[in-house]
A and B are shown apart, each in its own frame.
Chain A
Amino acid sequence: MTDNGSLAAATWAQVELARHPDRPYALDYIHALFSNFFELHGDRLYGDDHAIIGGPAAFDHRTVMVIAQQKGRTTAERAMRNFGMANPEGYRKALRLIRQAERFQFPIFAFVDTSGAFPGAGAEERGIAWAIAENLVALAQARVPIVTLVIGEGGSGGALGIGVGDRLLMMEHSIYSVAMPEACASILWRDIARKVEAAEALKLTAADLKRMGLADEIVPEPAGGAQTDYGVAADAAGAALRRHLGELEGLDVDQLLEQRYQRYRRIGAS
Chain B
Amino acid sequence: MLVEPGSFNEEDQAITAKDVLGFKDSQPYTRRIEQSRATTGANEAVSWGEATLAGHRIVIVCLDFAFMGGSMGAATGEKITNGIERALQGRVPLLIISASGGARMQEGMLSLMQLAKTAAALGRLGAAGIPYISLLTDPTMGGVTASFASLADVIVAEPGAMIGFAGARVIQQATYETLPEGFQTAEFLWQHGMIDLVVPRPELPAVIRQLLDLYTRDGFHSDFELKGQARAAAQAAAHIRP
Seen from chain A, the residues whose Cβ lies within 8 Å of a Cβ on chain B are 117, 119-121, 123-130, 132-134, 136-137, 140-141, 156-157, 160-161, 164, 176-179, 183-184, 186-189, 197-198, 201-204, 208-209, 212, 214, 260-261, 264-265, 267-270
> Which stretch in B69-77, B207-215, B227-235 binds the other chain?
B69-77
How far does the Cβ of A158 sit from chain B's closest Cβ, in whole Å? Answer: 9
Residue of B26, B78, B147 touching A268 (CB-CB under 8 A): B78
On chain B, the residues within 8 Å of A157 by CB distance are 103, 112, 115, 142-143, 146-147, 165
Task: Taking A121-B175, A141-B123, A267-B74 as given, write out 19 further A-B residue pairs in contact, using a Cβ cutoff of 8 Å, ordered by the A residue number.
Answer: A120-B171, A124-B171, A133-B115, A133-B146, A136-B119, A140-B116, A140-B120, A140-B123, A157-B143, A197-B25, A201-B23, A202-B21, A202-B108, A203-B108, A264-B113, A265-B81, A268-B74, A268-B75, A270-B15
Does B1 have its Cβ within 8 Å of any Cβ on chain A? no
B68 to chain A, nearest CB (A): 11
Partner of B119, one of A127, A140, A177: A140
Given contact pairs A124-B184, A136-B119, A264-B120, A117 touches B165 in the complex (Cβ within 8 A) = yes
B50 interface residue per 8 A CB criterion: no
In Å, the complex CA distance between A120 and B142 comes to: 13
CA–CA, A66 and B151, complex, Å? 25
Task: Decide yes or no: A179 and B180 within 8 Å by CB, A124-B164, A156-B143, A268-B114 being known contacts.
Answer: no
C-alpha spacing A137/B175, complex, angstroms: 30
> Residues 23-40 of chain B: 1 if any A CB is under 8 Å from the residue's CB, otherwise 0?
111100000000000000
Cβ distance A75 to chain B, nearest Cβ, rounded Å? 18
Which are the 9 A-B pairs with shortest beta-carbon distances?
A268-B74, A119-B166, A136-B119, A140-B120, A129-B145, A188-B25, A129-B165, A129-B146, A137-B123
Interface bits B143-154 vs A (CB < 8 Å: 1, else 0)? 101111111000
> What is the total of A-B residue contacts with beta carbons within 8 Å?
175
Let me know if B150 and A267 touch, CB within 8 A. Answer: no
The distance from the CB of B221 to the nearest CB of chain A, in whole angstroms, is: 31
**B192 lies within 8 A of chain A by Cβ:** yes
- Cβ–Cβ contact A264 & B116, under 8 A: yes
Q: List 16 A-B contacts (CB under 8 A).
A: A119-B170, A119-B174, A124-B184, A125-B188, A125-B192, A133-B146, A156-B143, A157-B115, A157-B146, A178-B104, A188-B25, A202-B109, A214-B113, A260-B120, A267-B114, A270-B78
Residues A177 and B115 in contact, CB atoms below 8 Å apart: no
Q: Give residues 1-46 of B contacting A (CB, 8 Å).
A: 15, 20-21, 23-26
A119: chain B residues within 8 A (beta carbon): 165-166, 170-171, 174-175
Interface majority SS (helix, strand, loop, mixed), chain B: helix
Query: Could you tell me the distance in whole angstroms from the C-beta of A94 to the nearest C-beta in chain B?
Result: 14
Bound complex: CA of A134 vs CA of B26, how far in Å?
A: 35
**Also in contact, A184 and B115, with CB within 8 A (given A201-B25, A212-B110):** no
Contact A177 B25 (CB under 8 A): no
Q: A137-B151, A267-B114, A268-B77 are in contact. Are A189 and B26 (CB under 8 A)?
A: yes
Taking CB as reference atom, which chain B residue is nearest A117? B165
Cα A204 to Cα B146 in complex, Å, equals 21
Q: Are B26 and A188 in contact (CB under 8 A)?
A: yes
B-side contacts of A123, CB under 8 Å? 165-166
Q: Judge if B122 is at the interface, Cβ distance under 8 Å.
A: yes
* Closest-CB distance, B96 to chain A (whole angstroms): 13
Task: Flag whether B223 is at the interface (Cβ < 8 A).
Answer: no
Chain B residues, CB < 8 A from A141: 120, 123, 127
